[in-house]
Structure 1
Amino acid sequence: MKYVLALFFFLFVYSSNAQVLQQRAVRLMGSRFDITIVAKDTVAADAYIDTVVAEVTRIENLISDWRPQTQISEVNRNAGIRPVKVDKEVFELTERALYLSRITGGAFDISFAAMDRIWKFDGSMSEMPSPEAIKKSVKKIGYQNILLDKVKGTIFLKEEGMKIGFGALGEGYAADKCRELMIGKGVQAGIVNGSGDMNTWGRHPDGNKWKIGVTNPIDNNELFAVLPLENEAAVTSGSYEKYVVFNDKRYAHIINPKTGYPVSGLSSVTVLGPNAEFANGLSTSIMVLGKKKGLKLLKAFPRYRAILVDDKGRVRATKNLNIDINSQLE
């Protein structure tokens, strides 16, 4: 359950004798990646950006569930047949995804990839799916049927027709890995933003923290918050861009993996914290869990901060955010 996220940079091209800020937008993992690097000159910055692109491509070739040659595609082809040995990196990513599934009671579930795509949000739906079709659509979803063997390094999907996918974690994981890679190479500052799953390090060359704007889900041409970031990730999940209306009721494109029905109650969740992968898992889960259960989940992870906007435009920010935000959007 990966969604186009509403985050915009406030970046100003700046150069001095010591540093330049270089940006590039590329298409990777089926999404737009915006890469920002601060380096001593444009040649060095471009070389570092090339390294980031290569790293994201490497990750995509490991975990994509739509590229037939990847290890995840091999796992899916062998659902109900046999365990598949995977690289340690893929195994550990799957392990973390299952942890998210357990702590959220299935609100997050990487086997969501097996859901029948009965909901269409491209304008082609003329009627609501039947209750029977909705129930059938989630029949193959169930993180409990994903078996990991740590000794052998294998993943086994117990039921034929099951699939796993990292659409809700992949871009965040890539942003985290690229940040780690760049810091290891001595790059002092930058941002890797994978379709709104972003991680930052260091500061803008002018000495200020990076700033991101969070889109107003009531009017997505406006921002309702500007947040400073330094060595921190930020992710937004939102249900306000893609939806259908039946019998005067709005059904958004974020689907509850346990019920097959679109979620309601929240229109936007922004999570900030040290890790983009986990922030994405939290934001996705909170959209499904709702405000009350979502805030309870966040209390277990005090290093993560959040802004929640409900369907009526009411805003709730966690106490550790330390920012003034209007309680009602218009």
Structure 2
Amino acid sequence: MKLIFGIGLFLSLSLLCYAQEIYKESMSLMGSDFEITVVSENEQAGAQYIQIAVDEIKRIEKLISSWDQSSQTSEINRNAGIKPIIVDRELYNLIERSIAISKITDGAFDITYASMDKLWKFDGSMTSLPTPEEVSQSVARVGYEKITLNEDEQSVFLKQPQMKIGFGAIGKGYAADKAKEKLMQLGVKGGIINASGDLTVWGSQPSGKAWQVAITNPMDKNHAFTKLPIMHGAVVTSGNYEKRITLEGKTFTHIIDPRTGYPSQGILSVTIFSEKGELADALATSVFVMGIETGIDRINQLPNVECIIVDDSGKIFTSKNIRINNNEN
């Protein structure tokens, strides 16, 4: 009888496991299109989990937004060149990690990029190129080394007046990480936080199979050039093939090198794979700026990070642990 009971219990648990289904919702958050997917036992629980993720993302946005004048980030910016601002430990640590990424990428990633004037516009309104003097003046306020952190006071100080920090190149990835962390703590076995195509993934589908992540072909956005199984981590793609302008016979794209003030060149898309969406988000833009050779070399030195680069002729380059069969395409 004990054996029969044991078998019955096993079958019941198995049926409960396979009774779980995928639930997803789309919404606008942090100025972007988000889609949140969870594996849950029923629609009501799925909706509750998704709302918890939304609330966490909104909390992060409130903390790091440079548009919200009541945020700590805005207070830091208002007091640039005036005084240090004491901030929450969470924001302090995010800024500290951002500076560390700046050092790793030789300044290709820099949250003080927000200090630059909006010299480059990719909405069709630009009729002439900015002058070298304008670009130089704009870049003068940029530089992660101009951020002073005081660990004891937990304060942040921007040394130069009119400096600003912004988390546009790291914020969505960080928010997705925090939402994922929240849901995992609640026992959600699998899901995807999709921030405008930047994916943070954990667990598996109800069948036990890994999530399939499609890598878009920038030469043909309606088709993927490969699909990869992912069970834990982040996949972030930055593309330079949509926002572009042509002036004086040259084409310029929207990813700007914060060190020079000029658009990066030669790359169409960069896809980064890492354990954290925060790091993947930051590195995707950084590799654009560093270029193919330097970018791949830097990625190869980082543990548990990989990349796929497509140059402006459609040629594919990868870090050392990725192999794509159709490289010749």
TM-score grouping bracket, smaller chain normalisation: over 0.9
Q: How do 1:169-180 residues align onto structure 2 when only pairs under 5 Å count?
A: 169-180=170-181
Counterpart CA distance in 1 for 2:82 and 2:67 is: 20
Counterpart CA distance in 2 for 1:281 and 1:28 is: 19
Q: How do 1:9-24 residues align onto structure 2 when only pairs under 5 Å count?
A: 18-24=19-25
Counterpart CA distance in 2 for 1:197 and 1:147 is: 31
Q: How do 1:196-235 residues align onto structure 2 when only pairs under 5 Å count?
A: 196-235=197-236
Alpha-carbon shift at residue 46 of structure 1 (Å) = 0.3
Change (3 A) 1:217 1:69: same
Counterpart CA distance in 2 for 1:247 and 1:207 is: 54
Contiguous gaps of at least 5 residues in structure 1: 1-14
Counterpart CA distance in 1 for 2:68 and 2:94 is: 18
Q: Which residue of 1 aligns with 2:241?
A: 240
Superimposed CA distance per residue, residues 297-323 of structure 1 (whole angstroms, 9 cap, x where no aligned partner) = 1122130111011111110122312x4
Whether contact under 8 Å (1:175, 1:197) holds in the other structure is no
Q: How do 1:1-330 residues align onto structure 2 when only pairs under 5 Å count?
A: 18-321=19-322, 323-329=323-329
Alpha-carbon shift at residue 17 of structure 1 (Å) = 5.8
Counterpart CA distance in 1 for 2:86 and 2:34 is: 30
Whether contact under 8 Å (1:313, 1:328) holds in the other structure is no
More helix by share: 2
- Secondary structure of 1:268's aligned partner: strand
- Secondary structure of 1:307's aligned partner: strand
Superimposed CA distance per residue, residues 104-132 of structure 1 (whole angstroms, 9 cap, x where no aligned partner) = 11111000011111111111122222222
Whether contact under 8 Å (1:171, 1:195) holds in the other structure is no
Counterpart CA distance in 1 for 2:120 and 2:328 is: 30
- Secondary structure of 2:223's aligned partner: strand
Identify the range of structure 1 (39-48 vs 125-134) with the bigger mean alpha-carbon deviation.
125-134
Q: Which residue of 1 aligns with 2:12?
A: none
Change (3 A) 1:325 1:135: farther
What CA RMSD, in Å, does the superposition of the two structures yield over aligned residues? 1.4
- Secondary structure of 1:101's aligned partner: helix
Alpha-carbon shift at residue 41 of structure 1 (Å) = 0.5
TM normalised by structure 1 equals: 0.92
Whether contact under 8 Å (1:242, 1:252) holds in the other structure is yes
Counterpart CA distance in 2 for 1:46 and 1:161 is: 43
Counterpart CA distance in 2 for 1:17 and 1:244 is: 51
- Secondary structure of 1:73's aligned partner: helix
Contiguous gaps of at least 5 residues in structure 2: 1-15
TM normalised by structure 2 equals: 0.92
Number of residue pairs matched by the alignment? 314
- Secondary structure of 2:140's aligned partner: coil
Superimposed CA distance per residue, residues 16-58 of structure 1 (whole angstroms, 9 cap, x where no aligned partner) = 8620111011111111111001011010010000100110111
Q: Structure with the greater relative contact order (CA < 8 A, sep ≥ 6): 1 or 2? A: 1
Alpha-carbon shift at residue 279 of structure 1 (Å) = 1.0
